[in-house]
Amino acid sequence: MDTSIFLSHNREDKEFVRHLALDLRRAGIIAWLDEAEIKPGDSIIDKIEDGLKGSKYLAVILSPTSVNSSVDRKLKYV
């Protein structure tokens, strides 16, 4: 498997994650980014699952926005 990483992030951090993905690609690392991989009509759940299964690593991007989001607060109870 190639060196690949799934980038999990809050949509408010999209600009930062785009730059991170570009930097990773320049370093020869395959970066899975939702906006590049999920097309109109795709099953979002299926595409994310495929992205996770196909990636060697997972990066969870934490920021004040993501830590304070209602989705992330709910996840701590899962």
Could you report the per-residue pLDDT of 24-66, keeping only the tens digit for each? Answer: 999 999 999 999 999 999 999 999 999 999 999 999 998 988 8
| Distance, CA of 53 to CA of 68 (rounded, Å) | 27
pLDDT score at 76: 57
Residue of higher predicted confidence among 67 and 56 = 56
Q: Could you say which of 3.40.50.10140, 3.40.50.720, 3.40.50.800, 3.30.1490.190 is the CATH number of the domain covering 4-75?
A: 3.40.50.10140
DSSP string, 6-73: EEE--GGGHHHHHHHHHHHHHTT-EEE-HHHH--TTS-HHHHHHHHHHH-SEEEE---HHHHTSHHHH
Domains in the chain: boundaries = 4-75
Note if the pTM is more than 0.85: no
pLDDT score at 2: 72
